[in-house]
Amino acid sequence: MSAKTRTAKNKNLSEAMKGNKNAVGNNGGCPRIFETPEDLEKKCDSYFDWADSNPWYKNEALKGGDRAGEIISIPMQRPYTLKGLCLFLEITTNCWRDYEERAEFINITTRVRERIDNQQFEGGMVGVFNANLSARRLGMIDKTEQKVVLEQPLFKLKDVPNNNID
């Protein structure tokens, strides 16, 4: 692309940004949807309430009795997730990270992440959630390191008796 073309595109972009309420005063990041930390906290609390009152359902067959083989729906706790929260808030995870970097929002965004992590951790501990997935998601998986050391042989194969290798 030539310098002349780039200049024309930048000029068109600047013209397009005039009157764009999302671009005015926005020095990068997402436009502010939540003006105060309290606004964000209320909406986050609404997400947690919604997740608690809207469980996932697992279909399972009854294993005994007169109704053996019948499929029933069992309510399962819905795990809190950052992606689920962002979908509920109608923002992207990148926009959430922008809020995390704003000094006035640090307290609420930190508490929300800790609440999500805590629910996943405790759910994994008591067996409500898959413990391996919860541990992996929280970076708590044990890692084992295997080290292979190659050593020089103590003797040459042709020096071994009854060896037909020349």
114-157 pLDDT, tens digit per residue, is: 999 988 888 887 878 777 776 777 677 666 667 776 666 666 66
Q: Name the residue ranges covered by the structural domains of the chain.
A: 42-53+79-135
Fold of 42-53+79-135: Topoisomerase I; Chain A, domain 4 (1.10.132)
Residues 74 and 46: their CA atoms lie apart, in Å, by: 24
Question: pLDDT per residue over 8-51, tens digit each?
Answer: 544 554 454 455 444 444 556 677 899 999 999 999 999 999 99
- For residue 112, is pLDDT > 70? yes
Question: What is the torsional sign of CA 87, 89, 92, 98?
Answer: negative
- Would you say 51 and 34 are in contact if contact means Cβ atoms under 8 Å apart? no
Instruction: Indicate yes or no: pTM above 0.75.
Output: no
Band the pLDDT of 77: cuts 50, 70, 90.
Answer: confident
> Helix, strand, coil % (nearest 5) of the chain?
50, 5, 45
